Structure 1
């Protein structure tokens, strides 16, 4: 892994702050059994550069501090996002930097959050397990795999922007 520099720290902090701000701006749909966490689109920055992983995970942890699920969401929600981010990074390493691998990578947040948050909602609120998993995963697919991939497809086709967003 590359060395963590001042540039990577600043960029990661900015992305963490953006994740928190977007989550809180869309707070009514950011938490709960049926959620469309718009800020999850940002996890695709880990596809551009794995150095964004720390900022994204930290942003998720801070955003989850405002969750009605409390500390449980900080622990489990952040873990789900971290797992998804690591799988996004691994997908790019395995399949390359193209639209197909971007789409495959975009499915990991649906899987990780669907399973982990579904279990969390079932445990905390006795909501039906399978329904909770499906609702959370569906929200992630809509936000990350449909909207996020459309946005990031445009981003990855712009070589100058990709170069600018890559941490040196």
Structure 2
């Protein structure tokens, strides 16, 4: 298969999965605001397997944030946090495997609380939002993401390293 086509397909599938998983979390009241456990953030581990995950996650986050009714600055900065996290995961892909989920956890824990405080004017301070968003990211990226990585590692050559 043509590598450019495969790259586009991987990115598109990842974006679609991100949207579906965010919509599921949104239906359960977990996608937005101070308490966030976006199942879709587990996908931020995927840059370990393919660089196509970086634009896929970014686009998926933009679409998800738009579909869940986020304000424009949230769409921009929330999606940038996911982009930064995904790129950081890609950079750490060959390092200690336990470091891979840290970039999205850190990026979202730093950026999203300011969005919650200054865009939505929610009650609670930045430290509180950092705690709640950080816990959600540890659950999504750290726990669910590492479980996903473990499962996908077994099937890596069939999913990501497709030849011909």
After TM superposition, the score normalised by the length of structure 2 is: 0.88
The alpha carbon displacement at 1:10 in A equals 1.7
Per the alignment, residue 92 of structure 1 pairs with: 93
Determine if contact 1:65/1:73 at 8 Å carries over to the other structure: no
> More displaced, 119-128 or 131-140?
119-128
Alignment partner of 1:36 is 2:33? no
SS in 1 for 2:37: coil
Per the alignment, residue 51 of structure 1 pairs with: 52
Per the alignment, residue 18 of structure 1 pairs with: 17
Structure 1: gaps spanning 5 or more residues: 96-100
The alpha carbon displacement at 1:4 in A equals 6.4
From 138, 149, 162, the counterpart of 1:152: 149
Per the alignment, residue 126 of structure 2 pairs with: 129
From 89, 102, 111, the counterpart of 1:107: 102
Q: Over the residues paired in the alignment, what is the CA RMSD in angstroms?
A: 1.7
> More displaced, 59-68 or 78-87?
59-68
The alpha carbon displacement at 1:108 in A equals 1.6
Determine if contact 2:53/2:86 at 8 Å carries over to the other structure: no
After TM superposition, the score normalised by the length of structure 1 is: 0.86
Larger helix proportion, structure 1 or 2? 1
The alpha carbon displacement at 1:48 in A equals 1.0
Shift in CA distance, 78/4, structure 1 to aligned 2, threshold 3 Å: farther
Determine if contact 2:42/2:140 at 8 Å carries over to the other structure: yes
Aligned residues: 157
Q: C-alpha distance in 2, partners of 1:66/1:9? A: 22
Q: C-alpha distance in 2, partners of 1:68/1:55? A: 20
